[in-house]
């Protein structure tokens, strides 16, 4: 299930609401801003409908949402699919005992945390975020899931920057994206 939604008419509507912000957060970066998508209830529903269609009927125990925009889509999707929602956060944001993983970024290293009791042994998990770039953050989240005995069945992203090769880093686990650049 390695799917890009580019032929779906919803993809064009979603793409039209993604705002490009040059030189954010630093010079030379073209940031893909999803806040116009969130401001449009129909567009937000289209995103959730697309993800729901892909994963309804599959046995999912948990949705893992990556801080912070993954929380928005992941939490809503977990409610639609009747499964738990698990936040993966930056260090120091979770109040209980955590598992921690360091992961490679394009220019440096990052750290993610997840509560130690978040994923049951053998649980089927979907990892959700707004954007797939190099795949480092999603790979780190998957490592946390696997460290607790869970099985990452797929990754789902609203936007994929395919020129950065993140999809290849996540294979052979299925990866879906709604809009690809």
Which CATH number belongs to the domain containing residue 87 in this structure?
A: 3.40.50.2020
d(C-alpha 179, C-alpha 92), whole Å: 32
Question: What domain range is 98 assigned to?
Answer: 3-180
What helix, strand, coil percent values describe the chain, rounded to 5? Answer: 35, 35, 30
Phi (first) and psi of residue 81, to 5 degrees: -95, 5
d(C-alpha 135, C-alpha 157), whole Å: 11
Counting the structural domains of the chain, the total is 1
pTM, two decimal places? 0.94
pLDDT per residue as tens digits for the range 53-93? 999 999 999 999 999 999 999 999 999 999 999 999 999 99
Active site residues: 69, 106
Phi (first) and psi of residue 170, to 5 degrees: -95, -15
Whole-number pLDDT of residue 105: 77
d(C-alpha 129, C-alpha 114), whole Å: 15
């Amino acid at each position: 299930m390695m799917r890009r939604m580019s032929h779906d008419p919803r993809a064009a509507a979603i793409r039209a609401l993604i705002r490009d912000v040059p030189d954010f957060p630093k010079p030379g970066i073209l940031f893909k801003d999803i806040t116009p998508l969130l401001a449009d209830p129909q567009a937000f529903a289209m995103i959730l409908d697309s993800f729901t269609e892909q994963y309804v009927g599959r046995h999912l125990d948990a949705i893992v949402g990556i801080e912070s925009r993954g929380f928005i889509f992941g939490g809503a999707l977990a409610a639609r699919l009747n499964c738990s929602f698990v936040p993966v956060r930056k260090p120091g944001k979770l109040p209980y005992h955590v598992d921690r993983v360091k992961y490679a970024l394009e220019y440096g290293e990052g750290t993610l945390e997840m509560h130690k009791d978040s994923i049951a042994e053998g649980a089927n998990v979907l990892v959700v975020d707004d954007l797939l770039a190099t795949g480092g953050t999603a790979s780190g989240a998957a490592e946390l899931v696997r460290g607790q005995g869970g099985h990452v069945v797929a990754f789902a992203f609203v936007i994929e920057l395919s020129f950065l090769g993140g999809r290849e880093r996540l294979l052979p686990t299925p990866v879906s994206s709604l809009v690809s650049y």
